[in-house]
Amino acid sequence: MTVAPSIDKSALLAQLGPGVEASYPLARLTSFKVGGPADFFATVRTEDALAGLVRKAWALDLPLFVMGNGSNILLADRGIRGLVIHNLCAEVTYEESALNQDEGVPALLIAAQAGAMLPRVGREAIKRGYYDLVYATGIPGTVGGAVMSNAGAYGWCMADSLSWIRYLARDGEVRTIASGAAELRYRHSRFKDSGEIVLAAGFHLNQRREEARASELNRRRRETQPLTLPNAGSMFKNPPGTAAGALIEQAGLKGRRIGDAQISEKHANFIVNLGRATARDVKALIDLAQSSVKEPLELEVQLVGDWSE
């Protein structure tokens, strides 16, 4: 269902229930700071509230998008049709087991709701002496988004330490699966395509020896990535055996600008908002990069919303 001007939004608001707003501006909630409004918008802070609202949207055949930190997405200037749910469910628990039965070493078991910020989870694990998520301290996203895209950096990814995932299935039931059933591969999981909603995830950490310091990885990020300007992270997946940023730079596009969007002069796999960029400006640079580089460049950032002309 597409919400058109002829649709009675007041009637839909009544059916969705209290706490849902109409025509909500979303750009401020995204890391790119671009894009239009949501037809309907709600913030949830409990899994029961999230699941209940998702079920209502499904029953109404209303398009649905669950937003975490608003990173790794490019929101269309026309906004998003249907309902956007801002997931602020962020409870995290940490439990240290006596021994990891497989390896005979201590382990840290983490249960994190999908709205929890991934850097926070990584930092808290480090405080307890576990370094499996050290790479995650610089990824500005939520646990749910990271699971959905199997996020990673510097050779690590979610699949390395995920143990289970709790989700809302398309039939409205809450289920839990082992990570092996999540079809995790490079920047992908089954949840990217299935319409299922990630509610929480469990991690099993046992890396007690510090192999890389969070401060060192974050120093490298500051030196090589345009962290002071609005952006959505790495724009393209790295093709096998090479780096997307290097290919874009070799094509002579580093620093190229359309409107107030620019292929970063610091890292060519980042597009930045210089102040007043539109989503259409950013998309034009995406198209330019894909048409200029000989190897196929697959988007890592998700295009969200109404991209019709």
SS3 74: strand
| Known catalytic residue at 187 | yes
Q: Edge-to-edge strand order for the sheet containing 174-178?
A: 92-100, 105-113, 197-205, 162-168, 174-178
Of the listed 81, 166, 187, 256, which one is catalytic? 187
Check: CB of residue 132 under 8 Å from CB of residue 207. yes
Q: Give the residue ranges of DSSP H helices in 112-176.
A: 118-127, 143-149
> Does an H or E element contain 111, and which?
strand 105-113
Element containing residue 97 per DSSP (H, E): strand 92-100
How many angstroms separate the CA atoms of 167 and 137, rounded? 24
Alpha-carbon gap, residue 265 to 275, rounded angstroms: 16
**Residues 279/222, Cβ–Cβ less than 8 Å:** no
Report the Cα 171 to chain-centroid distance in Å: 24
Quote the distance between the C-alpha of residue 245 and its chain's center: 20
Residue 300 designated active-site: yes
Let me know if 254 is exposed, middle or buried by CB neighbors in 10 A (0-12, 13-18, 19+): middle
CB 175 within 8 A of CB 72: no
Contact 152, 232 (CB under 8 A): no
Catalytic residue among 149, 189, 234, 264: 234
User: Which residue stretches of 155-206 are H helix?
Assistant: 191-194
Name the residues annotated as catalytic.
187, 234, 300
